[in-house]
Amino acid sequence: MLATLISTLLLVHPSIDVLLENHLDTAEGRAAFLTEKLTPYVAQAEQLNHEIVTLSEQVSNGDELTQETLEYSVQVTEKMAVLKEMIPTLEIALQVNADFEQIEELLEIEDLSAEQQEIADRIASLCQTVSQ
């Protein structure tokens, strides 16, 4: 019965497939995802932000425009572009605990409401992004 329900869900809700592929159907799988995938992603963003701040300080401390200052400016711009791409995922990560509390319910329901589908899609997007 459960196998039939899950196979039906997979046909109708591709996001559910992503949740199962990432083993988010168990508490252990969710913990592993947080530890092994999400935490390093957030740490990478934090490191990138730190590098941007450090480079920005070096640019602002320069009294005159030099080649080195220009190089720092280019690096800041490049790093900011990468961080900008990460921001939507980081915003989703802020809700991850509340969303993870919904997973078991999402896996048991055949006809997801729009809100439930949004949660499933949000978690699936998070999984796909941090797994890249």
Measure the CA–CA gap between 64 and 124, rounded to whole angstroms: 48
Specify the higher pLDDT residue, 43 or 62.
43
Measure the CA–CA gap between 106 and 47, rounded to whole angstroms: 34
53 token code pair: 């701040």
Measure the CA–CA gap between 102 and 20, rounded to whole angstroms: 14
Q: Which of 86, 109, 85 is nearest to 19 (CA)?
A: 109
Do 73 and 59 meet the contact criterion of CB atoms below 8 Å apart?
yes
Measure the CA–CA gap between 5 and 1, rounded to whole angstroms: 6
- Cα–Cα distances in angstroms (integers) from residue 39 to residues 5, 34, 58, 123, 124, in the given order: 32, 6, 29, 15, 16
Q: Is the pLDDT of residue 120 over 90?
A: yes
Mean pLDDT of 31-46: 96
This prediction's pTM: 0.81
Q: What is the CA radius of gyration of the chain?
A: 20
What's the pLDDT score for residue 61?
Answer: 83
What's the pLDDT score for residue 12?
Answer: 56
What's the pLDDT score for residue 19?
Answer: 93
What's the pLDDT score for residue 67?
Answer: 86
Q: Is the pLDDT of residue 5 over 70?
A: no
Specify the higher pLDDT residue, 34 or 111.
34
Residues 107-119: tens digit of each pLDDT: 888 888 999 999 9
What's the pLDDT score for residue 4?
Answer: 52
Measure the CA–CA gap between 67 and 119, rounded to whole angstroms: 48
Mean pLDDT of 59-86: 88
Alpha-carbon torsion, ordered 8, 11, 12, 14, to 10 deg: 120
